Amino acid sequence: MDIRDLQVFLAVTTRLNFTRAGEDVHLSQPSVSVRIRQLERELGVKLFEQLGKRVALTEAGRLLEPYARRVVAAMDDALHAVEEMQGLERGTVRVGASTTPGTYLVPAIIARFKRDHPKVEIRLSVRDTRQVEEGVLGDDFDFGFVGGHLVSGEVEVIRWITDEILLVVAPGHPLAKRRQVRLRDLQGEKFIYREPGSATQATVSAALQDVGVEFDSVMEADNPGVAKQAVRSGLGIAFLSQFAIRTDLRAKTLRVVKVQGLDIKRELKIVHRKDKHISRAARALIETAKLNSVVRQFGGSLVTD
């Protein structure tokens, strides 16, 4: 059985679309179809079926998928193990990160790592926490940085950095003149919320539910940059990660308002599959990230903001 056929099969199971799967594995749609037909002939079963305009897995395809993932993951682990013989002079590390760490923390960590290990290739994908977890479990990523709750027990979790989520307003907003407000002072305000898959929004919603309040949403933003621009434009106010607003506070384009009785914190985490072989290069990148968290804890800065 050709390992490449299994890789193509897994791409189609993920996308359920031959054209998009081909983009993921750098093959044309006809080449993907040929690979799938070849695998089906070898196994003597149909792996996919057409349901209207959709592609769906057959029962045989669903049975094959977990075995195919283990085979491909084992091959990747073998390649990583061989790469370790070359030390940190070569290799590739695939990293997934949810929006806040992926945008505001991880690029600087990678830059610091690359100064010491310039020949190691880093591939960073920024997605929401759920998608990062799925990517770690599916071996799309060697490990991930996340800020939200994880569902699977197959994931090893390493505590990384404590994040605080703060209420921000535009400098011209009436609340900007006040150092502290009460929850009831926020009634009637329009809030910019993050999208439902956001770990930041899940943390905020849980904290507000704990104190028994709910605010009106005027807009949902799919990333912190859009939310900040909406706040600066006077559309509303928002709860955002301290890491997302550092440069805005320095530039005085946003103001933080303390909310009495509301302290929203969360742990950013590093996650990897429990049974996965972690390459030497991946371990070195994780150690760089952990060192960065220790330096921050004592008020220093390992990387340039």
Give the domains, in start order, of the chain with CATH numbers.
1-70 (1.10.10.10), 162-266 (3.40.190.290)
Query: What SS3 state is found at 200?
Result: helix
If you average pLDDT over residues 36-64, what whole number do you get?
92
pLDDT in tens, 109-155: 999 999 988 989 999 999 988 889 989 988 899 999 998 777 778 88
Mean pLDDT of 41-64: 91
- At 10, the pLDDT band (50, 70, 90 cuts) reads very high
Residue 298 pLDDT > 80, yes or no? no
Q: Is the pLDDT of residue 302 over 50?
A: no
Which pLDDT score is estimated for 162?
Answer: 92
Average pLDDT over the chain, rounded to an integer: 88
Which of 77-91, 153-167, 195-209, 252-266 bottoms out in mean pLDDT, i.e. has the lowest? Answer: 77-91
Are 252 and 268 spatial neighbours (Cβ–Cβ below 8 Å)? no
Q: Average pLDDT for residues 10-28, to the nearest whole number?
A: 91
pLDDT of residue 196: 79
Which pLDDT does position 250 carry in this prediction? 94
> Which residues does residue 122 pair with via DSSP β-bridges, in sequence order?
93
Of residues 196 and 186, more confidently modeled: 186
Strand, coil or helix: 249 = helix
pLDDT of 172 above 90: yes
Provide the pLDDT confidence category of residue 1 given band limits of 50, 70 and 90: confident
pLDDT in the model for residue 216: 84
| Residue 137, amino acid | L
Query: What confidence category does residue 75 fall into, taking pLDDT thresholds of 50, 70 and 90?
Result: confident
Tell me the average pLDDT across 57-80: 88
Confidence of residue 303 (pLDDT cuts 50, 70, 90): very low
pLDDT at 305: 38
Q: What is the pLDDT of residue 299?
A: 43
How many other CB atoms sit within 10 Å of the CB of residue 33? 16
pLDDT for res 88: 63
**Confidence label for 85 from pLDDT (cuts 50, 70 and 90):** low
Does residue 158 come out as left (phi exceeding 0), alpha (psi in the -120 to 50 range) or beta?
beta
Q: How far apart are CA 84 and CA 94, in angstroms?
A: 15
Per the CB < 8 A criterion, the answer to whether 250 and 263 are in contact is no
In the chain, % of residues over pLDDT 70: 93
Higher-confidence residue of 185 and 214: namely 185
3-state secondary structure 45-77: CCCEEEECCEEEECHHHHHHHHHHHHHHHHHHH
